[in-house]
Structure 1
C-alpha cells in the first residue's frame, strides 16, 4: 500500500498521520461490533495512536460539531420538502439518521482529533517505497 501525499486525503482515508499508509482502525466501518476498535500503534511506522490517556475525550466535541449540521439539515429537509410534519416525524428521522451516521462520525471525529491535536506530522521518509520505521 502506497502512502498518500496530501494530509487531507490521508485523513479522509483514515490513515496514520505519520506515514499516511497504516489504517487508523482495525475493522471495517460496517462491522458494527468492532467499528470503534483501533490498533495501539500503526502497523507500518509504529506511531502510537493514543498520545496520552484520555486523549480522545476531545473527539466528542468534534463529533458534536459533525452532528449539528446533520440535525439542522434533516429538520430543514423535512420542513421544506415534506410540509412541516408532526414532531414525532422530526424526532424519529433525526434519531435514525444519527444512528446510521454514528460509525463514520465516531471515526472521523477521532481522526480529526489525532491529526489536529496529536502532535504527529507526516514524515516524508515514508514516501520511499517499502520504507518502514
Structure 2
C-alpha cells in the first residue's frame, strides 16, 4: 500500500515527490508547531526544488480548506449521529477536532498539493 513510487507513499510520509527518499520537512514531527511548515529548500538525494515557483504553496490553502471541511463534517456526524450529542456539543467537537488535527491537515494539504504537480521518477537521484 505504501510502497515507494506510489503517490500515497509520498503524501502520507511527506517525502520528496520526485524520489521519495527523504522528508520534505526540516522536522518530520508535525507536532513541533514552531517548525510544522518549515521545509528544506531541495531534496538532498535528487536535487528537486520543493518551492517550484514563488508562492507555490498558496494553492495548498484550497486543499487545506477542503480537508478541514471534510474533517469538520466527519466530526459532526460522529458526534451527532453516533454519540447522540446535542448540536452545541457537536459543534464543540468540530472545533476541538480541527484544533487537534491542525498540524496534520497543514502538512497533508501541502503534501497533496505538491503531488498534484510532481510525479515519482525512479531514475531521480541516480548518477
Task: Report the TM-score, using the length of structure 2 for normalisation.
Answer: 0.85
In the alignment, the residues of structure 1 paired with residue 68 and residue 55 of structure 2 have an alpha-carbon distance, to the nearest angstrom, of 22
Q: 5 Å matches for 1:39-78?
A: 39-78=40-79
In the alignment, the residues of structure 1 paired with residue 114 and residue 10 of structure 2 have an alpha-carbon distance, to the nearest angstrom, of 12
Q: Which residue of 1 aligns with 2:84?
A: 83
Cα distance per residue 1:20-64 (max 9 Å; x no partner): 112111111121221111111112112110111111111111111
Q: Which residue of 2 aligns with 1:125?
A: 123
Task: Report the TM-score, using the length of structure 1 for normalisation.
Answer: 0.82
Consecutive aligned runs of 4 or more in structure 1 exceeding 3 Å deviation: none
Secondary structure, aligned partner of 1:101: helix
Cα distance per residue 1:61-116 (max 9 Å; x no partner): 111111122111111122223334142x2332111100111111111111111110
Cα gap change, 1:38/1:113 in structure 2, threshold over 3 Å: closer, same or farther? same
Structure possessing the higher radius of gyration over alpha carbons: 1
In the alignment, the residues of structure 2 paired with residue 35 and residue 77 of structure 1 have an alpha-carbon distance, to the nearest angstrom, of 28
User: How many residues were matched structurally?
Assistant: 124
- Gap runs ≥5 in structure 1: none
